[in-house]
Chains A and B, each alone.
Chain A
Amino acid sequence: MNIPPQQLLILAGILFAIGVGGFVIRRNLIVVLMSIELMLNAANLTFIAASRMHSTSEVQNLDGAVFAIFVICVAAVEAAVGLALVIAFFRRHQSISLDSLGAGE
């Protein structure tokens, strides 16, 4: 179907802004990780939209799709390492609220 690229870019921008807002507002480390995932998703959406904008009916542009797959891979890595960090943080501070960061040792 035909989705105008402007609408997609605006949608990705709003999604990214929501991710930034969650990253700033929330204190729970896990929700901060989720906000990072939201921002990565917005970037993926932009990649796919741009890939579609640059392909013609003869030549398909696959760069966006391939890069979206790499971004998904990096997001998986980030979730794994981030969760390990959350566990280490919890072991040290007995809490995963970012406010307890200043209260530690």
Chain B
Amino acid sequence: MVDLQKPFYGGLTLFFVAMLGWGISSAGAPGLAFGFSAALTLGGSLVCIWERSVVRSAFSLMGTFVGVAGLFILLGADFVGMAQILIYVGGILALLLFGVMLSPPDMEERKLSRVAGGLVLMGAAVAWVSAKVAATVEWAQLPKDELPEMTTSVHDIGVGFIAPDKYVVAFELAAVLLTVALVAAVYIARRKMADFEPAKDIPSKDIAGKEAAMKEIA
């Protein structure tokens, strides 16, 4: 198969520069920040699903997370942006990198038939969803440009979390969910006790010798 590596990264660089230029030309410095974050988000996610090496996928995913955090901060949701960086980049990505240790690169992965089939499916999904959205959303009612300045202070969010008439039930449920999930993760990933039985660890021809050795120890 033809080597698509260079065209892919060339196109990605062009896309990045184009997004930056579009941002500057449309809104100056804030537009540059928006263009940078958007380009980081989309470029990182494209590299993530493109790269065969899982390590590169994981690190480009970091670009996506940081880009999304930048968008949150630009939108005025500072606290969510910071939580995004803390939890996604610091937690989830580190967790995924543990999993990376299990996986050799898969050279067969980028077969043309497979990619083409996936693209067709993806295009069909996008077309269906956007047709649905276009049919149901009343675009005229969306606010055009003038969105008010927004600052979600940590204080307001915290009060929302513990106020009985707002989100306290969901907040407690999230805590229960986290506890259950951590216990479940340990339960799923643990080795069964049966795995440690000595008779299963050794090939059958060595059993006699092993039993003798165990008797000696006993």
Q: A-side interface residues toward B, CB under 8 Å?
A: 1-6, 8, 11, 13-15, 17-22, 24-31, 33-35, 37-38, 41, 44-45, 48-49, 51-53, 55-57, 60, 62, 64-66, 68-70, 72-77, 79-81, 83-88, 90-91, 96-97
Q: CB distance B96 to A79 under 8 Å?
A: yes
A-binding segment of B3-11, B39-47, B203-211: B39-47
B101-114 vs A, CB cutoff 8 Å, 1 = contact: the mask equals 01100100100001
Can you list the 4 inter-chain pairs with the closest CB atoms, starting with the nearest? A22-B49, A25-B118, A1-B30, A57-B148
Q: B-side interface residues toward A, CB under 8 Å?
A: 27, 30-31, 33-34, 38, 41-42, 45-46, 48-49, 54, 57-58, 61, 64-65, 68, 71-72, 74-77, 79-80, 83-84, 87-88, 91-92, 95-96, 98-100, 102-103, 106, 109, 114-115, 117-119, 121-122, 125-126, 129-130, 133, 139, 142-152, 156-157, 160-161, 167, 170, 174, 177-178, 181-182, 184-189, 191
Q: CB distance A18 to B188 under 8 Å?
A: no
Which residue on chain B has the smallest CB distance to residue A80? B185
Residues of B within 8 A of A80 (CB): 95, 181-182, 185
Residues of B within 8 A of A27 (CB): 106, 109
Residues of B within 8 A of A60 (CB): 150-152, 156
Q: CB distance B75 to A28 under 8 Å?
A: no
Q: CB distance B181 to A81 under 8 Å?
A: yes
Given known contacts A60-B150, A77-B178, A65 and B79 CB-to-CB distance under 8 angstroms: yes
Residues of A within 8 A of B147 (CB): 2-3, 5, 52-53
With beta carbons under 8 angstroms apart, the residue of A24, A34, A53, A90 that contacts B57 is A34
Given known contacts A21-B49, A28-B109, A68-B80, A85 and B188 CB-to-CB distance under 8 angstroms: yes
Q: CB distance A17 to B61 under 8 Å?
A: no
The CA of A44 and the CA of B85, in the complex, are separated in Å by 13
Residues of B within 8 A of A66 (CB): 157, 160-161, 167
The CA of A1 and the CA of B98, in the complex, are separated in Å by 38
Residues of B within 8 A of A37 (CB): 61, 88, 92
Which residue on chain A has the smallest CB distance to residue B37? A11
Which residue on chain B has the smallest CB distance to residue A32? B49
Residues of A within 8 A of B126 (CB): 13, 17, 20
Sample 18 A-B pairs with CB under 8 A, ordered by A number: A2-B27, A2-B146, A5-B143, A8-B71, A14-B42, A15-B42, A21-B118, A21-B122, A22-B49, A31-B48, A41-B68, A52-B147, A53-B143, A60-B152, A62-B152, A72-B83, A76-B92, A77-B181
